[in-house]
């Protein structure tokens, strides 16, 4: 049972819907680049960061955590039988981070200066660290993905007539890459894990500097730890989620043995995260803000409730062995972490004197959904071209 | 070789000592790189200014009846470091002129950049300031002698070393703004004081000067008695004798009205009723403060009565009737300057220290003592030195003599 | 063995995280050293401000921002709603009720506070903000990428952004007229203020003046110099007759905003020791488990065994 390209019809009604959503997003994206951020978003001087940073970037990075958790599991501590999920997770991470980088490109006012952090450094800035780490990590992810490309194309490079002459050099290049990468891959794998740990936590540090502007339910000096723990916690559920989704979509048998193994590991990880979060709540005595029952307190309650529910679901054997229950539990974790990122970046951020609470505009939502749709389409296309998903050959 | 070193080292040391004592050390520069440009410019001119100021003021110093501490913060002020405290606005002002002494119209156009000059009717404002703190309201921190120019203390530049004193522009504006903003409810510059510079500015200015000249503030009717109906149950009526406070107690307007301004009496200028005087709504605390700032009040009934109070009468109110001599005196002559007024005992000698034999010329009472009586101790007639009571003759004479039937001398002036 | 290793990994990760969070927030080497003793500032005496809004006009003129004629600024209608600096105005005046004297409302000027320990300088991803030795905080248009993290970080909600421009949008905030001061002038708002309600001078002098005024007029001012200790002190100071929260100034503690985040950052990247250690540790684990795996692979172990290990 080795990874191989999936043979399936590419265009299905679902894909058409996705394409429509993506096109809709692209329209608003175009407007953003012609008329500026104000034309498309609800951002203002009170709320400089909205949906694009909260969901596309922060939640995107968190949900792409499957990449480094699975790499740690499969490569660093050599759980060989989990290797089947390493490639799909890697692909998700690669696409996820590409999507994150793209979202950053869209969100920053001077997108054409996106390369500036490479040469203009500010070591005090958490954002600088996130930026640099994400830049390097994206490159690492692409390098990690290269063997899949070489595997697919070595000996099969066939450019049509005009470009025939480059077939040989490309093939030689691929072979060279394959050879050198197979020896050095461990460097990149470990680097990937280290970089992820760093920027997953620094993403939390980002909001620490906002100080009093962050709601006390979320504002804590251990935000980086909470971000890291939640990213680690969401890693395996995310892999379970997408694996099951791919199975449903391509009508394959889910790899339940591997998935239930991952499911078992999810519970303690979620537990650690919840323990840290609730412990922090009591140490800072911020629990008093929960009983106010305003919007932030309800959001916090929902966030905790979802994660707790998921935690108990993953604890039970019944869940771990049933694909549908696993799917629900994983979705809950993903929803919980997604909500946590939205809460941290959007709900909790409320500057003094803010006259109106921020809510995302249609443009912002369209672009976000458009990007997600594109991501799914790209995933679908890549797994059909490259040997990513392991499945029973039929 | 060694010998040479022994000589050389002390020589070098001595040389070094001489050199460092001879070379004048540069004064430490107080200026920071970021502000160098700014502060340096004023440093010199400022020092010069300070010196000239000191020299001028010092001659006035002799005439001052001031405590050193009201101007200087430290024990031994020097010319270099006078350690002046910030202007104590009220304490130092010593100009008391009548309204007629000042100029009639002043045109302030020293700094006009965007705006033409300000026509200031000094006369009108002196009339108004009579109801307020008087000259010192504006001419604060003015020592005895001539009225100082504002620019004497207020520099005509924003970038200066000592920013604790406002510059000239701010000094002028603050004088006007406080009242005028309240009065007109406007802070635009075009409306009352300035107009923007234009080719016909000068003509307009002359016109304004003409308009303002000979303008006076109408005389304010002075109330004699004021009566308030309060909602205090045990005594609804409070009476205030304004005339007494002015005439009898010799209070100056500013003693009570120092914080008043136009809006105390007038509706703001934007209102239609601006010409009329108005009733001010004050809080209970403020109402009481206008009396309690002088009167030591410890019971409500002292002011709140069932009926209207009688005017002040020394005999009725205090139980000590003022007769011919005392009624002519100012209150302070006996009671001193302390507020609230102190109660005195009715013992004459507690004020009149000279009521002793040999010191006192009895003639001024209208009675020239006969030779025999003139040599008697005071208390031989005036028992216990109580001069308020009629004298008694019984200590020397038998019952055949009595005052005033038998006089101890002659009536005469 | 292998389980132990995985747990080890988790433990290390958790320990690293804890170590980061447990860092002392005071260990940060801030910008304090570079600040001059004679650094400048502004003291805004709200009791002297009459709300003429001339500073708004002067500021726009000085920064080449579009503006109407000076006369239009006497319009007090704008006070009806609370305003903030935006990309067209670096400073604004707001009016607040004065209970002590309803005829003299309180006017409060809003602009960059020029913090002693500015959050924007710490936050900016490319270091486009600079804290100058003289206290000024300026922004460099050539570096900025428009990420708006400075706006997130600023405790006073001061930097603004051109949301309506797709190309070359600017972050704008008061720069204390950095260019004007180079030529020996005072900031434009200070220069035009009729009442000198904005006093420009050395911060140390301004503090003295503020304290003296509060002492001399206890009925006019409350005993609080806003900016003396707020977020570690600011170059712009305020005195007023009303609680600053009621004047819509954020109630802030004395800790500099970048304190905690910088200590976390410096903790994580202390001479790159923690990342490199983590890297080495992971490498070691990888090497050890790989060696174990070579034998185990031959035994063709499967998930079942792993489950046993998991449950034990």
Task: Count structural domains, chain B.
Answer: 3
Give the CB-side neighbour count of residue B363, counting CA atoms within 13 A: 6
Confidence of residue A284 (pLDDT cuts 50, 70, 90): confident
Which residue in C273, C232, C237 sits closest to C122, CA to CA?
C232
Do the chains contact at A76 and C286, CB–CB below 8 Å? yes
Q: From the CA of C36, how many Å to the nearest CA of chain B?
A: 7
Question: Of B127 and C163, which is predicted with more confidence?
Answer: C163
Burial of C58 (0-12, 13-18, 19+ CB in 10 A): buried
Do the chains contact at C119 and A228, CB–CB below 8 Å? no
Mean pLDDT taken over chain A: 87
- Of B219, B251, B269, the residue at which a domain comes to its end is B219
Question: Of A354 and A94, which is predicted with more confidence?
Answer: A94
Separation CA A13–CA A20 (nearest Å): 11
- Of B160, B188, B219, the residue at which a domain comes to its end is B219
pLDDT value of position B222: 77
Sort out which chain C residues have CB atoms less than 8 A from A116's CB and list them: 125-126, 143, 145
Together in a domain, C190 and C244? yes
For chain C, the maximum distance between any two Cα atoms, rounded to a whole number of angstroms, is 92
Which chain A residue has the Cα nearest residue C252? Answer: A212
Confidence of residue B277 (pLDDT cuts 50, 70, 90): low
Do the chains contact at C147 and A79, CB–CB below 8 Å? no
**Does residue C264 form part of some domain?**
no
Do the chains contact at A190 and C282, CB–CB below 8 Å? yes
Per-residue pLDDT for C19 more than 60?
no
* pLDDT per position as a tens digit, B35-45: 333 333 333 33
Together in a domain, C305 and C199? no
Q: Determine the average pLDDT of the residues in B285-291.
A: 77
β B118-121/B105-108 pair status? antiparallel
Question: Of B409 and A55, which is predicted with more confidence?
Answer: A55
Mean pLDDT taken over chain C: 81
**Does residue B344 form part of some domain?**
no
Give the CB-side neighbour count of residue B392, counting CA atoms within 13 A: 12
B101: domain CATH number is: 3.90.10.10
Residue C252 touches partner A, C-beta closer than 8 Å? yes
Q: Determine the average pLDDT of the residues in A319-344.
A: 90
Are C149 and C124 in contact, with CB atoms under 8 Å apart?
yes
Separation CA B160–CA B145 (nearest Å): 28
Do the chains contact at C86 and A45, CB–CB below 8 Å? yes
pLDDT value of position C311: 42
Which residue in C202, C186, C229, C158 sits closest to C43, CA to CA?
C202
pLDDT value of position B46: 38
Together in a domain, B74 and B119? no
Q: Determine the average pLDDT of the residues in B230-245.
A: 84
Together in a domain, B108 and B166? yes
Do the chains contact at B186 and C76, CB–CB below 8 Å? yes
Residue A209 touches partner C, C-beta closer than 8 Å? yes
Q: From the CA of A289, how many Å to the nearest CA of chain C?
A: 18
CB-nearest partner of C148 from A49, A129, A189? A49
Are A361 and A42 in contact, with CB atoms under 8 Å apart?
yes
**Does residue A182 form part of some domain?**
yes
Angle value at C-alpha C216, between C215 and C222, nearest 5 degrees = 55
Q: Do chains B and A touch (3 or more CB pairs under 8 A)?
A: no
**Does residue C155 form part of some domain?**
yes
Q: Determine the average pLDDT of the residues in B55-70.
A: 55
pLDDT value of position C301: 45
Per-residue pLDDT for A34 more than 80?
yes
User: For residue A186, what are the domain limits?
Assistant: 42-360
Task: Count structural domains, chain C.
Answer: 2
CB-nearest partner of C146 from A109, A121, A264? A109
Per-residue pLDDT for B183 more than 50?
yes
User: For residue C109, what are the domain limits?
Assistant: 35-119+149-257
Are C194 and C58 in contact, with CB atoms under 8 Å apart?
no
Do the chains contact at B34 and C136, CB–CB below 8 Å? yes
Together in a domain, B162 and B132? yes
**Does residue C225 form part of some domain?**
yes
CB-nearest partner of C169 from A110, A114, A201? A110
Per-residue pLDDT for B84 more than 60?
yes
**Sign of the Cα pseudo-torsion (A238, A239, A242, A247, in order):** negative
Q: Do chains C and A touch (3 or more CB pairs under 8 A)?
A: yes
Subunits close to C (at least 3 CB pairs below 8 A):
A, B
Are C101 and C64 in contact, with CB atoms under 8 Å apart?
no
Q: From the CA of B316, how many Å to the nearest CA of chain C?
A: 40
Confidence of residue C26 (pLDDT cuts 50, 70, 90): very low
Question: Of A218 and C296, which is predicted with more confidence?
Answer: A218
Per-residue pLDDT for C189 more than 90?
yes
Q: Helix or strand or coil: residue C195?
A: coil
Which chain C residue has the Cα nearest residue A225? Answer: C17
Question: Of B99 and B287, which is predicted with more confidence?
Answer: B287
Per-residue pLDDT for B89 more than 70?
no
Together in a domain, B101 and B214? yes
- Report helix, strand and coil shares of chain A as percent, to nearest 5: 75, 0, 20
Separation CA B129–CA B150 (nearest Å): 18
Confidence of residue C292 (pLDDT cuts 50, 70, 90): low
Q: From the CA of C282, how many Å to the nearest CA of chain A?
A: 6
Residue C7 touches partner A, C-beta closer than 8 Å? no
Separation CA B131–CA B126 (nearest Å): 9
Which residue in C12, C17, C56, C45 sits closest to C222, CA to CA?
C45
Together in a domain, B44 and B138? no
Together in a domain, B76 and B109? no
pLDDT value of position B102: 75
Separation CA B300–CA B237 (nearest Å): 11
**Does residue B307 form part of some domain?**
no
Separation CA C252–CA C233 (nearest Å): 11
CB-nearest partner of C279 from A80, A190, A261? A190
**Does residue B328 form part of some domain?**
no
Per-residue pLDDT for C304 more than 60?
no
Confidence of residue C2 (pLDDT cuts 50, 70, 90): very low
Sort out which chain A residues have CB atoms less than 8 A from C5's CB and list them: 77
Q: Determine the average pLDDT of the residues in C266-279.
A: 76
Together in a domain, C111 and C81? yes
**Does residue C297 form part of some domain?**
yes
Q: From the CA of B191, how many Å to the nearest CA of chain C?
A: 9
Q: Can you read off the two tokens belonging to residue A120?
A: 């203009």
- Of B201, B219, B237, the residue at which a domain comes to its end is B219
Beta bridge partners of C201: C41
Together in a domain, B146 and B77? no
**Does residue A387 form part of some domain?**
no
Residue A356 touches partner C, C-beta closer than 8 Å? no
Per-residue pLDDT for B59 more than 60?
no
For chain A, the maximum distance between any two Cα atoms, rounded to a whole number of angstroms, is 72
Q: Helix or strand or coil: residue A278?
A: helix
* pLDDT per position as a tens digit, B342-358: 777 777 777 777 777 77
CB-nearest partner of C38 from B35, B167, B263? B35
Which element (helix H / strand E) includes C138? strand C137-139
**Does residue A366 form part of some domain?**
no
Together in a domain, C166 and C226? yes
Q: Give backbone dihedrals phi and psi of B51, rounded to 5 degrees, phi first.
A: -65, -50
Question: Of B148 and C236, which is predicted with more confidence?
Answer: C236
Do the chains contact at C2 and A77, CB–CB below 8 Å? yes
Highest-pLDDT range among A32-41, A281-290, A311-320: A32-41
Q: Is the peptide bond before B135 cis (omega within 30 degrees of 0)?
A: no
* pLDDT per position as a tens digit, C38-67: 899 999 999 999 888 999 999 999 999 999
Share of chain C above pLDDT 90, in %: 47
Q: From the CA of C255, how many Å to the nearest CA of chain A?
A: 10
Confidence of residue C16 (pLDDT cuts 50, 70, 90): very low
pLDDT value of position C25: 37
Per-residue pLDDT for C30 more than 80?
no
Together in a domain, C107 and C175? yes
Together in a domain, B93 and B173? yes
Which chain A residue has the Cα nearest residue C173? Answer: A45
**Does residue B308 form part of some domain?**
no
Share of chain B above pLDDT 90, in %: 0
Residue C305 touches partner A, C-beta closer than 8 Å? no
Residue C133 touches partner B, C-beta closer than 8 Å? yes
Do the chains contact at C202 and B35, CB–CB below 8 Å? yes
Separation CA B140–CA B94 (nearest Å): 8
Which residue in A194, A246, A198 sits closest to A71, CA to CA?
A194
Alpha carbon B132 to chain centroid distance?
11
Which of B28, B29, B32, B176 has the highest number of chain C CBs within 10 A, making it the mutation to test binding with C?
Answer: B32
- Residue B259 DSSP class: T
Q: Is the peptide bond before B198 cis (omega within 30 degrees of 0)?
A: no
Report the range of poorest mean pLDDT among A233-242, B214-223, B307-316: B214-223
A224: domain CATH number is: 1.20.1630.10
* pLDDT per position as a tens digit, B117-175: 888 888 888 887 777 777 777 887 766 667 778 888 888 888 888 888 888 888 888 88
C192: domain CATH number is: 3.30.70.20
* pLDDT per position as a tens digit, A173-199: 888 888 888 888 888 888 888 888 888
Q: Determine the average pLDDT of the residues in A340-348.
A: 92
Q: From the CA of A290, how many Å to the nearest CA of chain C?
A: 22
pLDDT value of position B276: 61
Angle value at C-alpha A15, between A12 and A18, nearest 5 degrees = 155
Q: Determine the average pLDDT of the residues in A262-275.
A: 90
Task: Count structural domains, chain A.
Answer: 1
pLDDT value of position C76: 81
**Considering just the CA atoms, what is the radius of gyration of chain C in Å?**
27
Mean pLDDT taken over chain B: 72
Confidence of residue C199 (pLDDT cuts 50, 70, 90): very high
Report the range of poorest mean pLDDT among C90-94, C119-123, C266-270: C266-270
Q: Can you read off the two tokens belonging to residue A98?
A: 């590409």
Question: Of B348 and A316, which is predicted with more confidence?
Answer: A316
Residue C181 touches partner B, C-beta closer than 8 Å? yes
For chain A, report the end-to-end CA distance as a whole number of angstroms: 11
* pLDDT per position as a tens digit, C115-140: 999 999 999 999 999 999 999 999 99
Together in a domain, C91 and C155? yes
Q: Determine the average pLDDT of the residues in C216-222.
A: 89
Sort out which chain B residues have CB atoms less than 8 A from C178's CB and list them: none
Per-residue pLDDT for A364 more than 90?
yes
Which chain C residue has the Cα nearest residue A104? Answer: C147
Separation CA C136–CA C113 (nearest Å): 9
Per-residue pLDDT for A202 more than 80?
yes
Per-residue pLDDT for C68 more than 80?
yes
pLDDT value of position B309: 81
Residue A45 touches partner C, C-beta closer than 8 Å? yes
pLDDT value of position C21: 42
User: For residue B376, what are the domain limits?
Assistant: 349-411
Which chain A residue has the Cα nearest residue C259? Answer: A209
β C40-45/C236-239 pair status? parallel
β C171-172/C160-161 pair status? antiparallel
pLDDT value of position B207: 84
Per-residue pLDDT for B184 more than 90?
no
Q: Determine the average pLDDT of the residues in C72-88.
A: 88
């Amino acid at each position: 049972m080795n990874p191989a390209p999936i043979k399936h019809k590419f265009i299905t009604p679902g894909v058409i819907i996705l394409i429509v959503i993506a096109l809709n997003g692209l329209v608003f994206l175009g407007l953003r680049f012609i008329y500026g951020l104000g034309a498309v978003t609800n951002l203002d001087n009170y709320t400089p960061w909205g949906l694009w940073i909260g969901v596309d970037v922060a939640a995107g990075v968190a949900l792409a955590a499957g990449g480094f958790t699975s790499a740690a599991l499969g490569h660093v501590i050599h759980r060989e039988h989990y290797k089947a999920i390493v490639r799909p997770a890697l692909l998700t991470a690669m696409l996820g981070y590409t999507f994150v980088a793209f979202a950053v490109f869209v969100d920053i006012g001077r997108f054409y200066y996106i390369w500036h952090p490479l040469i203009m450094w500010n070591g005090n800035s958490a954002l600088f660290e996130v930026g640099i780490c994400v830049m390097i990590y994206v490159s690492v992810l692409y390098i990690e993905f290269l063997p899949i490309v070489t595997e697919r194309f070595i000996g099969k490079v066939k450019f049509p007539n005009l470009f025939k002459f480059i077939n040989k050099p490309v093939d030689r290049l691929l072979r060279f890459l394959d050879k050198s990468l197979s020896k050095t891959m461990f460097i990149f794998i470990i680097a990937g894990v280290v970089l992820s740990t760093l920027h997953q936590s620094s993403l939390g540090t980002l909001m620490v500097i906002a100080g009093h502007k962050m709601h006390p339910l979320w504002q804590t000096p251990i935000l980086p730890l909470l971000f890291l723990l939640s990213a680690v916690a969401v890693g395996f559920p995310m892999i379970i989620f997408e694996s099951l989704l791919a199975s449903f979509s391509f009508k394959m048998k889910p790899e339940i043995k591997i998935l239930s193994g991952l499911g078992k590991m999810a519970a303690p990880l979620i537990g650690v995260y919840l323990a840290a979060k609730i412990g922090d709540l009591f140490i800072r005595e911020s629990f008093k803000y929960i009983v106010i029952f305003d919007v932030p307190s309800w959001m916090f309650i929902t966030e905790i409730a979802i994660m707790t529910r998921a935690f108990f679901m993953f604890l039970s054997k019944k869940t771990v062995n049933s694909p549908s229950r696993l799917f629900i539990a994983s979705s809950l974790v993903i929803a919980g972490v997604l909500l946590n990122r939205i809460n941290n970046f959007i709900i909790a951020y409320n500057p003094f004197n803010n006259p109106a609470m921020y809510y995302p505009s249609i443009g912002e939502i369209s672009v976000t959904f458009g990007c997600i749709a594109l991501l799914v389409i790209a995933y679908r296309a890549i797994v059909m071209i490259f040997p990513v998903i392991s499945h029973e050959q039929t | 070789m060694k010998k040479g070193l022994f000589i050389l080292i002390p020589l070098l040391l001595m040389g070094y000592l001489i050199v460092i004592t001879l070379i004048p050390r540069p004064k430490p520069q107080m200026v920071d790189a970021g502000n160098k440009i700014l502060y340096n410019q004023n440093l010199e001119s400022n020092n010069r200014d300070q010196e000239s100021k000191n020299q001028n003021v010092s001659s006035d110093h002799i005439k001052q009846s001031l405590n050193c501490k009201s101007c200087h913060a430290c024990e031994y002020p020097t010319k270099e470091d006078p350690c002046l405290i910030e202007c104590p606005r009220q304490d130092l002002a010593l100009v008391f002129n009548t309204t007629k002494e000042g100029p009639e119209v002043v045109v302030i156009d020293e700094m006009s950049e965007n705006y033409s000059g300000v026509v200031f009717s000094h006369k009108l404002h002196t009339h108004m300031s009579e109801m307020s703190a008087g000259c010192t309201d504006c001419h604060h921190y003015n020592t005895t002698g001539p009225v100082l120019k504002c620019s004497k203390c207020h520099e005509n530049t924003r970038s200066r070393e000592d920013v604790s004193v406002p510059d000239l522009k701010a000094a002028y504006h603050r004088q006007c703004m406080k009242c005028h903003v309240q009065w007109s409810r406007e802070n635009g510059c075009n409306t009352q004081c300035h107009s923007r510079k234009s080719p016909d500015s000068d003509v307009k200015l002359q016109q304004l000067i003409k308009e303002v000249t000979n303008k006076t503030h109408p005389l304010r009717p002075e109330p004699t008695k004021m009566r308030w109906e309060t909602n205090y149950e045990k005594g609804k009526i409070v009476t205030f004798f304004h005339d007494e406070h002015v005439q009898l107690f010799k209070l100056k307007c500013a003693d009570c009205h120092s914080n008043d301004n136009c809006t105390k009496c007038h509706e703001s200028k934007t209102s239609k009723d601006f010409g009329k005087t108005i009733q001010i709504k004050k809080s209970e605390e403020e109402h009481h403060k206008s009396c309690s700032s002088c009167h030591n009040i410890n019971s409500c009934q002292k002011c709140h009565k069932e009926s209207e109070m009688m005017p002040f009468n020394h005999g009725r109110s205090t139980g000590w009737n003022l007769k011919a001599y005392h009624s002519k005196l100012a209150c302070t002559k006996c009671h001193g300057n302390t507020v609230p007024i102190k109660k005195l005992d009715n013992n004459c000698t507690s004020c009149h220290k000279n009521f002793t034999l040999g010191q006192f010329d009895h003639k001024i009472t209208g009675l020239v003592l006969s030779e025999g009586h003139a040599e008697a101790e005071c208390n031989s007639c005036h028992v216990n030195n109580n001069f308020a009571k009629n004298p008694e003759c019984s200590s020397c004479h038998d019952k055949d003599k009595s005052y005033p039937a038998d006089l101890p001398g002659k009536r005469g002036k | 063995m292998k389980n132990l290793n995985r747990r080890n990994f988790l433990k290390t990760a958790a320990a690293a995280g804890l170590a980061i969070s447990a860092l002392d927030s005071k260990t940060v080497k801030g910008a304090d050293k570079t600040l001059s003793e004679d650094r400048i500032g502004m003291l805004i005496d709200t009791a002297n401000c009459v709300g003429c809004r001339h500073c708004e006009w002067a500021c726009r003129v000085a920064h080449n921002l579009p503006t109407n004629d000076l006369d239009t600024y006497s319009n007090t209608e704008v006070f009806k709603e609370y305003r903030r600096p935006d990309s067209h105005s670096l400073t604004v005046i707001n009016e607040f009720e004065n209970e002590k004297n309803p005829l003299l409302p309180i006017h409060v000027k809003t602009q960059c506070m020029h913090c002693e320990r500015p959050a924007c300088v710490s936050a900016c991803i490319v270091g486009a903000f600079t804290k100058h030795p003289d206290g000024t905080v300026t922004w460099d248009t050539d570096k900025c990428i428009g990420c708006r993290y400075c706006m997130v970080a600023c405790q006073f909600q001061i930097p603004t952004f051109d949301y309506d421009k797709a190309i070359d949008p600017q972050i704008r905030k008061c720069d204390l007229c950095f260019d004007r001061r180079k030529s020996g002038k005072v900031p434009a708002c200070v220069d035009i203020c009729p009442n000198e309600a904005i006093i420009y001078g050395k911060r140390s002098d301004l503090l003295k003046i503020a304290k003296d005024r509060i002492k001399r007029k206890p009925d006019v001012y409350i005993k609080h110099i806003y900016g003396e200790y707020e977020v570690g002190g600011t170059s712009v100071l305020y005195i007023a007759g009303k609680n600053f929260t009621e004047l819509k100034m954020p109630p802030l503690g004395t800790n500099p905003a970048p304190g905690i985040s910088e200590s976390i950052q410096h903790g994580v990247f202390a001479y790159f020791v923690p990342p490199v250690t983590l890297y080495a540790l992971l490498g070691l684990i990888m090497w050890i488990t790989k060696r174990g795996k070579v034998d185990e692979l031959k035994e063709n172990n499967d998930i079942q065994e792993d489950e046993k290990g998991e449950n034990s």
